[in-house]
Amino acid sequence: MTIKPRRNSPERKAVKPKIPTSGRSAAAPARGVRPNQADVAYSRLRELILAGSIAPGSFVLELEAAAKLGMSRTPVREAMVRLRAEGIVEIRARHGMRVLPVSADDMREIYEVITSLESTAAGLVAKRGIDTNALSSLNEAVKAMDSALERDDLERWAQADEDFHRTLINSCGNGRLIQTVDQFWSQAHRARLLTLRLRPKPTQSNREHAALVKAIAKGDAEAAVRIHQEHRERAGRLLTDLLRKIG
């Protein structure tokens, strides 16, 4: 018997069934199932957007994206629908998918949501207790931030900061909250990178992180909420003010 040739014309590059390494996606591809073309399109496009490789404000046609990704329009279309649901692109008929620029006002909105949910998460973690693993991760992150700050390594600091917050949120015991924060966090990511070197040294941040860990370890939910809220509000103000300045 002969092998039937596939009739696919978009040249079939052996698709790596690699699981995307980036943080959990909002529209979760069912667990453990190997990703299909639509999943590939979704995560590839998402990465491109979040890394800034597709400029905010620019349009991407279905056909363009399909060609670039080596697949047909169908899965690309599905991916775009998911990205729109996440709020990081809009779809304009006959212009394709437009990567939404994040204005200062958008950033205010995003930070208000993040502040609200993360503070709640901090409170929940303090109230419900945190497992030893996570607690030591938090402490490590704090240490990493301190040493990065001493060496003026801002990239390192930002990474540790992100680790800290991700660990914190992931310990809150509320999957929906985690996913929602994740979604908004990714939208703020670009702006954070953009303004990293324009911000004052985040020494205050480090103090707040340490205080938060202490409150959580003590199980003081009230304090945890308050500290985290102030922390985020300050960060949000800083970021939105900066965005307003640099346009």
6 touching DNA, by CB under 7 A = yes
Q: Please tell me whether residue 84 binds a copy of itself under the rule CB under 8 A.
A: yes
Backbone angles phi, psi at 28, to 5 degrees: -60, 120
- Complete DSSP assignment for 160-224: HHHHHHHHHHHTSS-HHHHHHHHHHHHHHHHHHHHHGGGSPPTHHHHHHHHHHHHHHHHT-HHHH
Which residue's entry shows tokens 């790596």?
Answer: 16
From the list DNA, a copy of itself, none, partner contacted by residue 8 (C-beta under 5 to 8 A by kind): DNA
| Smallest separation (angstroms) from DNA to the CB of 140 | 39
The radius of gyration of the chain from alpha carbons, rounded to an integer in Å, stands at 21
Beta carbon nearer to a copy of itself, 171 or 206: 171
In the complex, the smallest distance separating the C-beta of residue 16 from DNA, rounded to whole angstroms, is: 13
Q: What is the DSSP letter of 93?
A: T
* Three-class SS state of 53: coil
Name the token pair of 35.
């990703």
Tokens 């208000």, residue?
Answer: 112
Closest CB to a copy of itself among 156 and 226? Answer: 226
Q: How far is the CB of 87 from DNA (least distance, A)?
A: 18
- For position 27 contacting a copy of itself by CB under 8 A, the verdict is yes
* Contacts (CB under 7 A) with DNA, residues 172-201: none
- Size, binding site for a copy of itself by CB under 8 A: 36
Q: Can residue 73 be called a binding residue for DNA (CB under 7 A)?
A: yes
Question: Which of 15, 14, 11, 9 has the alpha carbon at shortest distance from 41?
Answer: 15
Is the Cα torsion angle 166, 48, 183, 173 positive or negative in sign? negative
Binding site for a copy of itself (CB under 8 A): 26-27, 30, 33, 38, 74, 77-78, 81-82, 84-87, 90-93, 108-110, 112-113, 115-117, 119-120, 124, 174-177, 179-180, 184
Q: What is the binding site for DNA (CB under 7 A)?
A: 4, 6-10, 36-38, 61-63, 71-75, 77, 91, 93-96
